[in-house]
Amino acid sequence: RDVPTMRCYGHQQDNPSKLDTEDSAKLNILDNKGFTFSLYQVHGNSKKIKPGWTALNPGSFMTVRINTAFDKPRQLQHMKSGKYLPEVTLLMLHSYEHMGQFRVSCVSGCTCESKVFDLHETSEHTSLTKTHSFSVTQHRQCDLHIEVLETTSSGEHKVKLIQIVAKIHSQDTARHH
C-alpha cells in the first residue's frame, strides 16, 4: 500500500508552541476579509487550546497560497504507480451549533472543481474536526479561495479552518471525501 506524500499548512506564531511541528508551514494568506486566527476556542470555554482561522459572517473570505507540486524523485520514489493524483484536504471544525457553509475554489495557478461544504453536524451533539478532500492540479503557487456562504442549516455562519494539507497519492490509493 502506498503512503501519500504530504505538505501541511496551518498556524505558526511568533512564539512557537508545542502545536507546531517541523512539517508545518505557515499559511500564506494573500487576501483576508473576516477570518481571524485564534489559538483558543471561540465559543464556550475560551481557555481551551483550539487553534484555527475563524469567520462568523457570510461574505467573509480568505485566499491562501499553497504548493501542490510534488515533482522531486525522492518525494515520489516510494509510490508504485506511474500516475499520481494530487489533492488538497481541508481540516475543518464541524459542530451541532453555530456552524455555516463555505465554498472552496482554485483561483490561480492550479485548477480544481469548486466545492461547497456544510459544517453543521446534525447527526450528533458533538464538535469534531473533519476532513474535506478534493482533486487539484499540481502547481507551486496554488491559490485557494475559501468563502463563507449566506446559506446555513444552523441559523449561524461560523466557519473554522484548522489546517490545509496538500498531498499526492498513486492512482491506486487516492481517496476522496
| pLDDT per position as a tens digit, 147-167 | 999 999 999 999 999 999 998
Sign for the pseudo-dihedral over CA of 122, 123, 124, 129: negative
Per residue in 123-147, pLDDT (tens digit) is: 888 889 999 999 999 999 999 999 9
Q: State the pTM of this model.
A: 0.82
C-alpha grid cell for residue 106? 482554485
Q: Which domains does the chain have, with CATH numbers?
A: 5-170 (2.60.120.260)
